[in-house]
Structure 1
Amino acid sequence: MADAITAEFDIDELDESNNVELTDDKLETGSKGQLIKLAGQLRDRRNDLNQMASERASKRDDLNAKTREKVDEAQEHREQRDELNEQVQEHKNKRNELNAEANELFDKVEEMKQDLELGDGKDLEELEEEIEQLEFRQQTEVLSTEDERELIEKIEQKREEYQERKDKLDDSQELEDLIEEAEEVRSEASQHHQKVTELADKAQEHHNEMIEAYRAADDIRDNADEMHELFVEAQEAADRHHEDFVRVQKRLRELDKQEEEEQKDEREAKREEAKAEAEEIYQKFKEGETLDTEDLMKLQKTGLL
Structure 2
Amino acid sequence: MVTKEEVIEQYDIEAMDEADNVDLSEDDLDNGSKGQLIKRAGQLRDRRNELNQMASERASKRDDLNAKTREKVDEAQEHREKRDELNEQVQEHKDKRNELNAEANELFDEVEELKQDMELGSGKSIEELESEIEDLEFRQQTEVLDAEDERELIEKIDEKREKLAEKKEKVDDTSELDDLVEEAEEVRSEASQHHQKVTELADKAQEHHNQMIEAYREADDIRDEADEMHELFVEAQEAADQHHEDFVRVQKRLRELDKEEEKERKDERAEKREEEKEEAEEIYQKFKEGETLDTEDLMKLQKTGLL
Q: What TM-score comes out, normalization by structure 2 length?
A: 0.94
Given the alignment of the two structures, is residue 188 of structure 1 paired with residue 163 of structure 2, yes or no? no
Change in Cα spacing, 1:33 to 1:142, as seen in structure 2 (3 Å) is farther
Number of corresponding residues:
305
- Which residue in 2 is equivalent to 1:127? 129
- Which residue in 2 is equivalent to 1:69? 71
> SS state of the match for residue 82, structure 1?
helix
2:152 aligned residue (145, 150, 162): 150
1:92-131 residue pairs with structure 2 within 5 A? 92-131=94-133
1:23-102 residue pairs with structure 2 within 5 A? 23-102=25-104
- Which residue in 2 is equivalent to 1:200? 202
- Which residue in 1 is equivalent to 2:244? 242
- Which residue in 2 is equivalent to 1:216? 218
- Which residue in 1 is equivalent to 2:18? 16
Contiguous gaps of at least 5 residues in structure 1: none
Change in Cα spacing, 1:133 to 1:2, as seen in structure 2 (3 Å) is same
Q: CA deviation at 1:141?
A: 4.2
Question: Matches of 1:102 and 1:10 in 2, distance apart?
Answer: 67
Change in Cα spacing, 1:302 to 1:129, as seen in structure 2 (3 Å) is farther
- Which residue in 1 is equivalent to 2:303? 301
Question: Matches of 1:128 and 1:252 in 2, distance apart?
Answer: 129
Question: Matches of 2:211 and 2:293 in 1, distance apart?
Answer: 109
Amino acid at match of 2:136: L
Question: Matches of 2:155 and 2:283 in 1, distance apart?
Answer: 181
> SS state of the match for residue 290, structure 2?
coil
Q: CA deviation at 1:241?
A: 0.6
Q: What TM-score comes out, normalization by structure 1 length?
A: 0.95
Q: RMSD over aligned Cα, in angstroms? A: 1.5
Q: CA deviation at 1:142?
A: 4.3
Question: Matches of 2:92 and 2:281 in 1, distance apart?
Answer: 118
> SS state of the match for residue 188, structure 1?
helix
Question: Matches of 1:142 and 1:254 in 2, distance apart?
Answer: 152
Contiguous gaps of at least 5 residues in structure 2: none
> SS state of the match for residue 288, structure 1?
coil
